[in-house]
A and B are shown apart, each in its own frame.
Chain A
Amino acid sequence: MTQNQSTIVALATPPGKGGVAIVRVSGPLSRDITSKILGKSLTPRQATYLPFIDRSGQQLDVGIAIFFQGPHSFTGEDVVEFQGHGGPVVMDMLMESILQCGASLARPGEFSERAFYNDKMDLTQAEAIADIIDSGSKQAAISALRSLNGEFSNKVHLLVEKVVQLRIFVEAAIDFPEEEIDFLADDNVVSQLTDIIQDLAELMRNAQQGSLLREGMKVVIAGKPNAGKSSLLNALSGKQSAIVTDIAGTTRDVLTEQISIDGLPLHIIDTAGLRKAKDKVEQIGIERATREIEQADRVLLVVDAAEEKIEDVEQTLSKLLDSDISLPPVTQIRNKCDLTGELPDVCESENLVTVTMSASELTGLDLLKQHLKRVIGYNASESGVFMARRRHIDALTRASEHLDTGYAQLTGMAAGEILAEELKLTQNCLNEITGEFTSDDLLGKIFSSFCIGK
C-alpha cells in the first residue's frame, strides 16, 4: 500500500565529524528535485560529488548526492539523499530549496512508516515504528511548544484569531445571504484582510531575520554561586569572556557568547548564581537570570560534583529560582569532577540527563557538546527544536501565499467563496504552528456573533 503521493524531506542525520549531514527526500518528486538542486539527473545508486544550487542558481554547498529509484530504496519510493558539509544553517537552506520544489516536511517517523507500508520492513522491525511515531510526535510537540514560547507564539495566536474573525464574516456572507447585512460588501472585510497580511509579513520578517532559526538556540547556564558557571561559559566559548573567582556571587549580570558546534549556532548565556540575595544588584541579576531561563531552549544546571546527585532537576531549579515559571528541558552538569575523581560521563535516562565534567580542566567538554548538538540540533531528526522551527517558517510562507491570493480574489473578483477557501488554507498553515487542529466551531461563532436565521 502506498500511503500517499506526497514527497517528504527531512534531515536524516545530524552533522557528524566535520559537520557532514544528510538530507533525505522520498516520494514522486525526488527525481525532479534532484535535477533542480543539482542541475542534472543522477544514475541510480551512484554517489556523485557535485555542487548543490538553490533556485536563483547560487551555490549552497558542495557534497555527495545519491539517487535511489523505487522500489529499490529505504522507503520503497524514489529517494534522493544529499550529504553536505555546510553545517545546519546551510543544510537548512538546502531544505528550504527542496520545500520550494513542492516537497513537505516529514512527520516524525514518516520515512519508516512509508518503508513499512511499502513492504520494506518485516513485522519485527515494524514493532519499533509505532514507538518512534509515538515518542517522536510527543517530542515534536514539546519542541514546537518550547520554540513557541514568548512573543512569537503570542503573535501567531493573535493572527489565528484575526483569521478566524474574518472567516466568520466571509462564511456568514456565504451561508446567510438573506440577512439584512451583506457581510462581504462591508469595507471591513478588506481592511481586516489587509491588516492580517501586514501582521503576517512582519512576523515573517522577524522569523527570517534569524531570531528564530538562523540565529541559533539559547542555552542558559544556571546554578548556585561558585558552581562553576562562568568557567563553563569560558570552556564552551574557548575564551576568557567571564570573570572567574572563588568568591560566591561573582557574576551579577547576564553574559552571552555565540558559539557553533559543528555549524550549529548556539547562544550560551551565563547568569548570576541563584541564592537569596540581599544585595540589590545581585537581586536584579537573579531576576534577569530567571527571565533568561524562561526563554531558553535548554538550561544547564551546574552543580558541584561534591554535592549529592540531584534526582529531580526541575524541582531543584524551581526551588533555586523561587518561582514557578515554566521550565525548558534541563541538563544537570556535575562540575569539578577532577576534585571528586569521577570520570567524565553522559548519563541519559528518561527524565534526567546528567553530564559529569570539569570546566576548569576541560574534561568531558566534548561529551557536553555532543549532547547539546543532539538535544538542541536535531536528535530524532524530524522532531528536534531545529526542525520545529523550520516547520514554522515553512508554514508562515505558505500562509502568506494564501492570503495574497485571497486578497486578489476579493478585490479583483469579489469572489467570496475563493477568499473563504484561501482563508481556510491560511488557518490550516497557522494551525500547523500552534498544533491546534481541532475543528473550530465556525458556525457556532457565527451564531453567537450575528443574529441569524429565520
Chain B
Amino acid sequence: MIYDKSFDVIVVGGGHAGTEAALAAARTGASTLLITHNIETLGQMSCNPAIGGIGKGHLVKEIDALGGVMAKAIDHSGIHFRRLNASKGPAVRATRAQADRTLYKNYVRCQLENQDLLQIFQQSVDDLILQQDKVVGVVTQMGLQFNAKSVVLTAGTFLDGKIHIGLSSYSGGRAGDPPSIGLSERLRELPFNVERLKTGTPPRIDARSINFKELEPQHGDSPVPVFSFTGKASQHPQQIPCHITHTNKRTHEIISGGLDRSPMFSGIIEGVGPRYCPSIEDKITRFSERDSHQIFIEPEGLETFEVYPNGISTSLPFDVQMAFVRSIKGFENAHITRPGYAIEYDYFDPRELKASLETRHIQGLFFAGQINGTTGYEEAAAQGLIAGLNAALLVQEKESWSPSRNESYIGVMIDDLITRGTQEPYRMFTSRAEYRLILREDNADLRLSEKAHELGLLSDALWQLTATKRDLINLEIERMKSSWVQSNSPSAQKINQLLEKPLSREYSQMDLLKRPQLDYAALVEAIPGVGDGLPEPVKEQVEIQAKYAGYIDRQLDEIERNKKQQNLKIPAQLDFSKIGGLSNEIIQKLSDTRPETIGQASRISGITPAAISMLLITIKKRKIRLSGTESSDTESLSVNPKVEQS
C-alpha cells in the first residue's frame, strides 16, 4: 500500500539525531514525516542520563543557537547542573547536566507533537525506494510505502545491532529494543562502505540497595547554570546531588578473574570501541598500575530509584558484574536492576558524505548520528539538525548549508568526519578545534543565530534577542575604547589598589580591561556609570573579548586570510589523475574522499601544500579555459606542459 500523502522529508529514527532532523526540516517549511520504531522512545537516552560536558556542551549551545530542542529539553529536565573548567578560561568552560530521563523524553516528544508540518508514524523502516541513484521513499515493516523527496536516516546503534553480555549475545538495537536487520541488509547492497563499531554501558543499580552514608556527595554548582540562551534556572526541576565512590584492589581481582569470559578479550567483539569511554575491564588491563578508579553515581531521575554508576561500563558475564559491583564501597548489598552490556552495530564511512550530510552515492539520502561513526547524544543531535535542514533545502531547491570549522564545533565535527573519517566512535573534544578561543559556549548565539534566522531555523523574535545583544556588545566596546581614565583621577586611585604598579598615564577603559588584574566588575566599581543598564551577558562578552583580544584577532586574521581559498569549490567533474605533478598516493586520496572545497582537501591527511597549489592552479586554469572562446576540450586539465603543447 502506498500512503496517500507524499512528504518533502522523511526522517527514519526518533533518537537524538532524528528528532532534531525532523524539527529542523519542519521549521524551515518542509512537510516532514518522522518514522520510528516506537513513539514511547522518542528522545530516549540510550546510555547515561546526562547532556553536555567539555566540547559536548559547546555543541548543545550551538544546537540552541540554530533553534534546536536539546538545550531547552535539558533545561526542563536537568536535576544536577555543573560548569566544568570553571577555574580555566571562558573558551574551555562547559556546561553539563544530569537529566531525569523521563522528563527529558517527554519534553522532546511534546515539542515534536507541537511542531507544525511534522507528522509522526510508528513502524520499522525496512527498505528504501530508489530511482536510479536517487531516493524517493521508504517501505515499512508491514509493507506500507511512503514517498518523499528526501530521506534522513538516523538509525543509531540499531543497524544489525548485536548485544553482548559475557559470552552470550543476541540481536538488539539497545537493551529492550529490536534491532534493524532488514534495513541493514538493504544498505549493505548499496555502494556504501560499512564497518562495525562497539560501545558499552554499565549495569544500573537500585539506589535503595546502596549505602550512601559512606559516600562523598557532589552537589551541582551555584549559581545554577542553564543551557539555552533563553533558558532560566527556574525552568529546572528539583536539583539533587550525585555521589562518588571508587573501585579497589578486590574489584580489580574479580574483574581479572572474569576476563576469560569477556567478549572483548576473547575476541568475540570485532567492532572498535571508544578509547575515551573504556570499559572497566579495559581500564584495569591497560593501566594495571592503578588500584582504584573513580565512579560517579548519577541519579536516573526524580521518580525512580535507579542510578547510573558512571565509570564501570562492562560486558563481563552477569555473575562477574554482580561480584565486582558488590566489592565496591557503598555497593556491598547492591541490587543490579539492568545488566551492563556492549553493543556492536553498523556504521558508514563518513568520508562518503558531503558537508551537507547527503550521501555522495545516493541523491536525497542523508545520514546523521551514530551511523556516521560518532557517539553521544550531542554529536548525534547536531548532525541531525544539519541533515534535516539540508534535506529540506534540497527539496526547496536552495543551496545547502553546513557551518564551517571556524564558526562552530558542529563544523569541526562534520569536517573531521568527511575529510578524515573515523576508526573509533568519534566524540567531540575541544582539542579538535583549531579556533578554540573563538568557539566558546558563551558566544554560540553570536556565531550562528543570524544564519539560523536567515535559513528559517530561528524565529524573528529569537533572532532579535541576539541582534540586540550583539549591538549592545559592539557599542560598549566602542565606548570603552574611547573612554579614558586619567592617572590622577579618583577612578585611577581605586584601580591602582588592584595593580602592582599605579597607572602612570591615561588609559582607555578597554586597555585597562585587558589587564589580568582587572575585570569588568572592577571597572564598574571604580568608574561611575560604567555598566549601567547593561545585561550580564553583554558585560561578560565585553570582558572576554578584551581578555582574549590578541588571540581572537590573530585567529580572525588567519580565518579571513584563508577564507577565499578554503571555500573555493573543487568542480565535481575534476579528474584528479589528470593533474600533473601529483603523486599517485595523493591522487588516490583525493579521488576517494572527493573534497568539495580546497579547505577540505587541505585537511585530508597526507595532502601537501604543493599539491594544494597545483589544485588551485588547475581550478583557475579551468575557469579561464571555460570562459575562453576557442576551447573545445574543456575537460583536459593537465598542467603538464608537454601534453598541453602536443
A412 to B296, CA, bound (A): 33
Chain A residues near B561: list those with CB within 8 A.
4-6
A318 to B551, CA, bound (A): 52
A178 to B242, CA, bound (A): 14
From B55, B580, B581, give the contact of A175 (CB < 8 A): B55
B527 proximal to A (CB < 8 A): no
- Decide: B85 and A418 in contact? CB cutoff 8 A: no
- How far in angstroms is the closest Cβ of chain B from A29? 13
A418 to B84, CA, bound (A): 17
- Decide: B621 and A123 in contact? CB cutoff 8 A: yes
A175 to B274, CA, bound (A): 15
Binds B, one of A14-22, A125-133, A197-205, A265-273: A125-133
A5 to B561, CA, bound (A): 6
A282 proximal to B (CB < 8 A): no
A347 proximal to B (CB < 8 A): no
Question: Given contacts A417-B437, A421-B551, A451-B287, are A113 and B617 in contact (CB under 8 A)?
Answer: yes
Question: Given contacts A127-B641, A439-B605, are A417 and B276 in contact (CB under 8 A)?
Answer: no
- Decide: A415 and B89 in contact? CB cutoff 8 A: yes
Question: Given contacts A127-B641, A128-B641, A414-B87, are A454 and B310 in contact (CB under 8 A)?
Answer: yes
A424 to B606, CA, bound (A): 20
Chain A residues near B432: list those with CB within 8 A.
443
Chain B residues near A127: list those with CB within 8 A.
639-641, 644
- Decide: B614 and A130 in contact? CB cutoff 8 A: yes
Q: Contact string, B313-341, partner A, CB cutoff 8 A, digits 1/0?
A: 10000000000000000000000000000
Chain B residues near A443: list those with CB within 8 A.
276, 429, 431-432
Question: Which residue, B311, B429, B625, has most C-beta atoms of chain A within 10 A?
Answer: B429
- How far in angstroms is the closest Cβ of chain A from B299? 16
A176 proximal to B (CB < 8 A): yes
- Decide: A133 and B560 in contact? CB cutoff 8 A: no
Q: Contact string, A1-16, partner B, CB cutoff 8 A, digits 1/0?
A: 1111110000000000
A127 to B581, CA, bound (A): 11
Chain A residues near B620: list those with CB within 8 A.
1, 116-117, 126
A442 proximal to B (CB < 8 A): yes
B290 proximal to A (CB < 8 A): yes
A180 to B283, CA, bound (A): 15
A183 to B561, CA, bound (A): 35
- Decide: A175 and B430 in contact? CB cutoff 8 A: yes
- Decide: A451 and B641 in contact? CB cutoff 8 A: no
Q: Contact string, A166-186, partner B, CB cutoff 8 A, digits 1/0?
A: 000001011111111000100
Chain A residues near B565: list those with CB within 8 A.
3-4
A378 to B520, CA, bound (A): 54
- Decide: A451 and B293 in contact? CB cutoff 8 A: yes
- How far in angstroms is the closest Cβ of chain A from B115? 34
Task: Place the interface of chain A in its size category.
Answer: 35 or more
A418 to B613, CA, bound (A): 32
A361 proximal to B (CB < 8 A): no
A-B contacts, CB under 8 A, total = 137
- How far in angstroms is the closest Cβ of chain A from B629? 13
- Decide: A175 and B429 in contact? CB cutoff 8 A: yes
Q: Contact string, B540-574, partner A, CB cutoff 8 A, digits 1/0?
A: 00000000100100000000111011001000000
- Decide: B89 and A417 in contact? CB cutoff 8 A: yes
- Decide: A454 and B431 in contact? CB cutoff 8 A: no
From A175, A412, A447, A451, give the contact of B54 (CB < 8 A): A175
- Decide: B276 and A442 in contact? CB cutoff 8 A: no
A171 to B564, CA, bound (A): 31
From A180, A417, A453, give the contact of B92 (CB < 8 A): A417
A6 to B562, CA, bound (A): 10
Chain B residues near A243: list those with CB within 8 A.
none
- Decide: B92 and A131 in contact? CB cutoff 8 A: no
From B516, B564, B608, B609, give the contact of A1 (CB < 8 A): B564
- Decide: A123 and B293 in contact? CB cutoff 8 A: no
- Decide: B84 and A177 in contact? CB cutoff 8 A: yes
- Decide: B275 and A447 in contact? CB cutoff 8 A: yes
Question: Given contacts A126-B621, A412-B516, are A174 and B431 in contact (CB under 8 A)?
Answer: yes
A413 proximal to B (CB < 8 A): yes
Question: Given contacts A128-B641, A180-B294, are A5 and B617 in contact (CB under 8 A)?
Answer: no
- Decide: A438 and B605 in contact? CB cutoff 8 A: yes
Contact sample, A vs B, 17 pairs, CB 8 Å cutoff: A117-B620, A126-B617, A126-B620, A130-B613, A130-B617, A133-B581, A134-B581, A175-B55, A175-B430, A175-B431, A178-B296, A417-B91, A418-B437, A438-B605, A439-B605, A442-B431, A451-B286
Residue numbers of A with Cβ under 8 A of B are 1-6, 107, 109, 113, 116-117, 123, 126-131, 133-134, 137, 171, 173-180, 184, 412-418, 420-421, 424, 438-439, 442-444, 447, 451-454
With A3-B616, A420-B436 known, 14 other A-B pairs at CB within 8 A are A1-B568, A6-B561, A127-B639, A128-B641, A137-B609, A175-B55, A177-B84, A413-B516, A417-B436, A443-B432, A451-B278, A453-B278, A454-B310, A454-B311
Residue numbers of B with Cβ under 8 A of A are 54-55, 84-85, 87-89, 91-92, 274-278, 283, 286-287, 290, 293-294, 296, 310-311, 313, 429-432, 434, 436-437, 516, 548, 551, 560-562, 564-565, 568, 580-581, 605-606, 608-610, 613-614, 616-618, 620-621, 624-625, 639-641, 644
